[in-house]
Structure 1
């Protein structure tokens, strides 16, 4: 796995933290942590998007965040378990994994995705 995909995965995991933080933060320190997680998450996604297809990066990022947030809410915060939610998250994760598998890595050295266009 390339460093750029690692950024996407870590950014998606951090997204779970900040989305849950938006719902559950009550103190100034918790809100600072939530805002810090938002900044870190988006920084990683921006960095990955510079070298990978932005549509795929965004789909994987939001898929990880969505699936993880639903799971975290059920496991950590007492959200009622729902078989239909779990099955639909499985479908979502299948799509995210599929997108990752069919997306080609950029060729050449990193940062070479910007090309000069002459008219």
Structure 2
């Protein structure tokens, strides 16, 4: 994996963090300022996901985004908003994260458009 790909995976993680903010905001916002913050979090989250989708396998990036967002939202609900903690939730969250990490590890990035263009150019010579 190239350093530039690591940068895009980091952006997917940040997009997932912003997803936690906006999902919680949808549930708990009650003032215009809170709704504004929720809207900004939605925009940032999806902007980062769209930005990365041209550089990473879209299906894997989306799975990581959704998995981290879902896990983060459940943890935020328990830690910040006082939702009850159950061992079953913890086990299922760990299972979800293992699946997301496993999917990321077994997904091989396809050659970039630049690499494909270079290969075609070499074949044409």
With the length of structure 2 as denominator, give the TM-score of the two structures: 0.83
Distance, in Å, in 2 between the alignment partners of 1:7 and 1:107 is 20
SS in 1 for 2:114: coil
Asked if 1 retains the 8 angstrom alpha-carbon contact of 2:57 and 2:109, the reply is no
Unaligned runs of 5+ in 2: 118-125
Are residues 7 and 106 of structure 1, via their aligned partners in 2, closer, same or farther at CA, if it must alter by over 3 Å? farther
Residue matched to 1:24: 28
Query: Structure 2 matches for 1:1-119, cutoff 5 A?
Result: 2-107=6-111, 112=114
Are residues 113 and 86 of structure 1, via their aligned partners in 2, closer, same or farther at CA, if it must alter by over 3 Å? farther
* More helix, by proportion: 2
Asked if 1 retains the 8 angstrom alpha-carbon contact of 2:21 and 2:41, the reply is yes
With the length of structure 1 as denominator, give the TM-score of the two structures: 0.87
- 1:100: Cα distance to partner? 1.6
Asked if 2 retains the 8 angstrom alpha-carbon contact of 1:25 and 1:31, the reply is yes
Residue correspondences, number: 113
Structure ID, larger Rg: 2
Are residues 113 and 30 of structure 1, via their aligned partners in 2, closer, same or farther at CA, if it must alter by over 3 Å? farther
- 1:113: Cα distance to partner? 7.5
SS in 2 for 1:112: helix
Cα RMSD, aligned residues only: 1.8
